[in-house]
C-alpha cells in the first residue's frame, strides 16, 4: 500500500476531521441526442420552451442543434445532482412533442453529415463565437464525431479539506491557491493512471450501428446484421471511433504542474496548423472556424479529465486558472448509462467519489516520458479488450494482470468507502464498492457485457435495443410530472434566459472581430 495513502487516510479518518467529506460538491453535465420516433437525428430547432441554449443554466446544446446538454448546479448532498437531473429530464419531455432522447452514447440511423445541424446561439458576439467554433469542429473532424454523447462529473473538495491537508503536510510555504492547484494536479495524474477502471465497469458502447462507419473499414466484427462490435470492447466512444484526435497527440500539454498545463494549452491556441490553414478561416465573408491554430479554444482539447474553475464573463478557461487556480475537476470518461433513465446512477456517482478521493490521498509523482505512453496504452487495451479474461496492463514498466491490478485498487477503495460512510454522508459507499468489486471476475455484469449479451439474445441489433430503452425512459419521465414549484423554476429559468439573450444581442458598438481579439488577448 502506498505510504502517503495510508498516512493521509488515517489522518482524515479521525472523528473530528472526517466530517469534512460531507462538504464535497458534485455536479453533472449530461448530453442526449433528440431523435424522431423512427430514430433519426432531429432536424428541428432547439425547442423555444426550453429557453435560450446560450443562456439557460440548466439546458443548452453541445455541438449539434439536436444534442441537448443538461447541467446541474454543484451540491454537497450526494444524491441531489441526480435528483435535479431527473427533474430536468421531466421538464424537457413536456416540450419535446413526438421526439425521444437517445439513451446511448453512440448514435444510430445515420444519414450524411448535412443531416447533423450545427447549434445556433443567436446574433450576439458570444453566440456567434459558439456557433463558429462548432462549425470549425465540423470542418476539422467531421460532424459524425460531434453526435456522440457522454456524461461529465464535476467534483470539488471543500476548503476545510485543503486546510486540514495543508496542516497535515506541515503548513507548507505555498499560498492556498498554489497548494490546492498542485494537489488537484496530483489527483488528475493519479486519475489518468487509474481511470481505465471506469470504461471497464461503466463503458456502455461496445457495439455500434454500421451506419456510423459510413462504409469505412474497421476492425470490428459483426454482432448481428447492421451492428458491429468488439467482442471484448467496453467503450468504443473512448477509442478511435469516438472522441479522439491524433493531431492532438503531439501537443506538449503536461499535467505535472498547473503552469505547464496552462502554457501547453496557450501554445496550442496560438500555433498555426497547416491542415487547418487549408480549411481557411473566412470564406466568402463567412467564418469557417475561429482560427487555423492547433486549438481554436481550450475546450477543443480532448481529455478524460480537466482542471476547471468558474470563469468571469468573457474570461478564457486558462486565464481563469492562472488568476485563481483550480476550483474543481471535470471527469469526462463516462458513457451514457443506458440502463438508467437519467444516464448515470447514484452507484456510479459513489464509485467516482471514492476513486477521486483515493487519487488525492495517494502519492502522485510526475508523469514521465516513459509513463505517458503506458497510460494511453492501458486506456486503449481496456477500451478495446477490457472484458478479455487474460487482459494485461502495463504498470511500472511491467505487464500485470488487469484483474490483479483492479483487485488491489478495490482493496484500497474499500478503505476510502469505509471512511466516507463514517463521515455522516447518509450513504452506503461500502456496499457500492463491495458490489462493484464482484464485476472484476464477472465481466458479464459490466455495462458493456450486459449490452452485448442482450443484443445477442434479442437478435435485432443495436438500433432496436437502444430505441426500446430510449422509449422506456421517455415513458418513465412522462409518467412522473413535476411539482408545481419545480415546474415554475424551469419555466422561469427558460423565460429569463430568452431575455438575457435579447440583452446580449443589443448593439454594443464593438465589431465581432474586435470581440474575438479581446477574447484571445
Mean pLDDT to the nearest integer, 300-323: 95
The pTM of the full predicted model, rounded to 2 decimals, is: 0.97
Mapped onto helix, strand or coil, the DSSP state of residue 70 is strand
Distance CA(393)–CA(384), nearest Å, equals 12
Q: Which residues pair with 61 in a beta bridge?
A: 68
3-state secondary structure 392-456: EEEECCEEEEHHHHHHHHHHHHHHHHHHHHCCCCCCCHHHHHHHHHHHHCCHHHCHHHHHHHHHH
Q: What is the pLDDT of residues 190-234, one digit of tens each?
A: 999 999 999 999 999 999 999 999 888 899 999 999 999 999 999
Mean pLDDT to the nearest integer, 107-124: 94
Distance CA(358)–CA(239), nearest Å, equals 26
Given pLDDT bands bounded at 50, 70 and 90, which one contains residue 315? very high
Given pLDDT bands bounded at 50, 70 and 90, which one contains residue 96? very high
Mapped onto helix, strand or coil, the DSSP state of residue 155 is strand
Q: Give the cell for residue 378.
A: 492501458
The answer for residues whose C-beta is within 8 angstroms of residue 161's C-beta and 6 or more apart is 12, 20, 21, 23
Mean pLDDT to the nearest integer, 137-149: 93
pLDDT of residue 410: 98
pLDDT of residue 249: 65
Given a contact cutoff of 8 angstroms between Cβ atoms, the answer to whether 318 and 308 are in contact is no
Distance CA(32)–CA(60), nearest Å, equals 11
Task: Find the DSSP H helices in 271-401.
Answer: 274-279, 317-324, 346-361, 371-385
Given a contact cutoff of 8 angstroms between Cβ atoms, the answer to whether 446 and 40 are in contact is no
- Characterize the bridge pairing of strands 25-35 and 67-71: antiparallel
Sign of the four-CA dihedral 477, 480, 484, 485: negative
The answer for residues whose C-beta is within 8 angstroms of residue 237's C-beta and 6 or more apart is 105, 106, 148, 150, 203, 205, 243, 335
pLDDT of residue 244: 58
Burial (Cβ within 10 Å: 0-12, 13-18, ≥19) of residue 238: buried
With a pLDDT cut of 90, the percent of the chain lying above it is 93
CA angle 26, 31, 37 (to 5 degrees): 140
DSSP string covering 213-245:
GTT---SPEEEETTEEE-TT-SBGGGSTTSS--
Distance CA(372)–CA(192), nearest Å, equals 9
Given a contact cutoff of 8 angstroms between Cβ atoms, the answer to whether 34 and 99 are in contact is yes
Task: Please provide the CATH number assigned to the domain covering 3-520.
Answer: 3.30.590.20
* Exposure on the CB side of residue 6, measured as CA atoms within 13 A: 3
Mean pLDDT to the nearest integer, 150-170: 96
Measured in whole angstroms, the distance separating CA 111 from the mean position of its chain's CA atoms is 26
Distance CA(474)–CA(30), nearest Å, equals 16
3-state secondary structure 304-324: CEEEECCCCCCCCHHHHHHHH
Measured in whole angstroms, the distance separating CA 460 from the mean position of its chain's CA atoms is 30
* Mean pLDDT, rounded, of the chain: 95
Given a contact cutoff of 8 angstroms between Cβ atoms, the answer to whether 491 and 44 are in contact is no
- C-beta atoms surrounding 509 within 10 Å: 5
Mean pLDDT to the nearest integer, 361-385: 97
Mean pLDDT to the nearest integer, 9-16: 97
Given a contact cutoff of 8 angstroms between Cβ atoms, the answer to whether 77 and 153 are in contact is no
pLDDT of residue 172: 67
Mean pLDDT to the nearest integer, 470-493: 96
Given a contact cutoff of 8 angstroms between Cβ atoms, the answer to whether 449 and 443 are in contact is yes
Q: What are the C-alpha distances in Å from 276 to residues 43, 135, 139, 291, 315?
A: 28, 13, 9, 8, 25
Distance CA(164)–CA(187), nearest Å, equals 17
pLDDT of residue 171: 75
With a pLDDT cut of 70, the percent of the chain lying above it is 98
The answer for residues whose C-beta is within 8 angstroms of residue 101's C-beta and 6 or more apart is 32, 33, 34, 35, 68, 89, 92, 93, 470, 473, 474
Mean pLDDT to the nearest integer, 40-60: 97
pLDDT of residue 246: 61
Mean pLDDT to the nearest integer, 117-136: 97
Given a contact cutoff of 8 angstroms between Cβ atoms, the answer to whether 255 and 282 are in contact is no
pLDDT of residue 424: 80
Q: What are the C-alpha distances in Å from 251 to residues 256, 293, 302, 313?
A: 14, 12, 11, 28
Mapped onto helix, strand or coil, the DSSP state of residue 126 is helix
Q: Which of 87, 10, 30 is nearest to 343 (CA)?
A: 30
Distance CA(228)–CA(223), nearest Å, equals 5
Residue holding cell 511491467? 398
Given pLDDT bands bounded at 50, 70 and 90, which one contains residue 243? low
Given pLDDT bands bounded at 50, 70 and 90, which one contains residue 173? low
pLDDT above 80 for 417 = yes
Mapped onto helix, strand or coil, the DSSP state of residue 294 is coil
Distance CA(206)–CA(234), nearest Å, equals 5
Sign of the four-CA dihedral 360, 363, 366, 369: negative
Given pLDDT bands bounded at 50, 70 and 90, which one contains residue 131? very high
- Characterize the bridge pairing of strands 227-229 and 221-224: antiparallel
Q: Which residues pair with 399 in a beta bridge?
A: 394
pLDDT above 70 for 168 = yes
Amino acid at each position: 500500500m502506498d505510504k502517503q495513502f495510508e498516512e493521509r487516510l488515517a489522518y482524515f479518518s479521525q472523528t473530528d476531521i472526517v466530517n469534512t467529506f460531507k462538504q464535497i460538491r458534485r455536479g453533472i453535465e449530461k448530453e442526449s441526442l433528440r431523435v424522431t420516433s423512427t430514430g433519426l437525428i432531429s432536424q428541428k430547432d432547439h425547442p423555444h420552451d426550453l429557453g435560450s441554449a446560450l443562456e439557460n443554466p440548466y439546458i443548452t446544446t453541445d455541438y449539434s442543434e439536436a444534442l441537448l446538454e443538461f447541467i446541474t448546479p454543484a451540491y454537497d448532498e450526494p444524491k441531489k445532482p441526480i435528483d435535479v437531473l431527473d427533474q430536468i429530464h421531466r421538464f424537457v419531455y413536456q416540450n419535446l412533442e413526438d421526439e425521444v432522447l437517445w439513451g446511448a452514447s453512440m448514435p444510430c440511423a445515420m444519414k450524411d453529415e448535412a443531416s447533423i445541424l450545427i447549434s445556433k446561439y443567436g446574433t450576439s458576439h458570444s453566440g456567434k463565437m459558439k456557433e463558429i467554433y462548432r462549425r470549425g469542429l465540423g470542418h476539422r473532424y467531421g460532424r459524425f464525431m460531434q453526435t456522440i454523447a457522454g456524461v461529465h462529473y464535476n467534483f470539488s473538495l471543500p476548503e476545510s479539506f485543503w486546510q486540514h491537508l495543508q496542516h497535515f503536510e506541515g503548513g507548507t510555504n505555498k499560498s492556498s491557491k498554489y497548494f490546492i492547484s498542485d494537489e488537484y494536479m496530483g489527483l488528475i495524474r493519479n486519475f489518468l493512471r487509474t481511470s481505465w477502471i471506469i470504461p471497464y465497469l461503466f463503458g456502455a458502447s461496445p457495439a455500434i450501428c454500421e451506419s456510423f462507419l459510413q462504409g469505412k473499414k474497421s476492425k470490428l466484427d459483426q454482432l448481428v446484421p447492421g451492428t458491429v462490435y468488439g467482442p471484448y470492447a467496453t467503450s468504443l466512444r473512448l477509442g478511435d471511433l469516438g472522441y479522439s484526435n491524433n493531431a492532438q497527440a503531439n501537443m506538449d500539454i503536461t499535467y505535472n504542474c498547473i503552469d505547464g498545463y496552462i502554457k501547453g494549452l496557450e501554445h496550442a491556441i496560438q500555433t498555426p496548423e497547416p491542415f487547418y490553414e487549408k480549411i481557411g478561416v473566412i470564406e466568402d465573408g463567412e467564418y469557417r472556424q475561429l482560427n487555423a491554430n492547433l486549438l481554436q479554444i481550450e475546450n477543443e482539447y480532448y481529455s478524460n479529465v480537466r482542471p476547471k474553475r468558474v470563469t468571469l464573463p468573457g474570461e478564457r478557461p486558462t486565464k481563469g486558472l492562472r488568476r485563481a487556480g483550480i476550483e474543481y475537476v471535470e471527469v469526462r470518461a463516462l458513457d451514457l448509462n443506458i440502463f438508467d433513465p437519467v444516464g448515470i446512477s447514484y452507484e456510479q456517482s459513489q464509485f467516482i467519489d471514492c476513486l477521486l478521493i483515493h487519487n488525492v490521498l495517494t502519492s502522485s509523482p510526475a508523469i514521465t516520458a516513459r509513463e505517458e505512453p503506458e497510460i494511453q496504452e492501458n486506456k486503449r487495451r481496456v477500451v478495446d479488450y477490457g472484458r478479455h479474461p487474460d487482459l494485461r496492463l502495463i504498470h511500472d514498466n511491467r505487464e500485470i494482470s488487469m484483474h490483479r491490478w483492479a483487485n488491489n485498487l478495490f482493496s484500497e477503495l474499500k478503505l476510502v468507502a469505509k471512511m466516507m460512510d463514517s463521515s455522516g454522508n447518509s450513504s452506503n459507499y461500502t456496499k457500492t464498492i463491495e458490489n462493484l468489486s464482484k464485476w472484476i471476475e464477472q465481466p458479464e455484469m459490466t455495462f458493456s457485457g450486459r449490452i452485448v449479451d442482450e443484443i445477442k439474445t434479442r437478435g435485432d441489433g443495436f438500433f432496436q435495443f437502444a430505441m426500446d430503452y430510449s422509449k422506456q425512459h421517455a415513458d418513465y419521465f412522462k409518467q412522473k410530472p413535476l411539482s408545481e414549484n419545480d415546474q415554475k423554476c424551469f419555466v422561469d429559468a427558460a423565460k429569463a434566459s430568452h431575455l438575457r439573450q435579447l440583452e446580449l444581442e443589443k448593439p454594443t458598438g464593438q465589431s465581432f472581430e474586435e470581440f474575438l481579439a479581446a477574447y484571445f488577448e
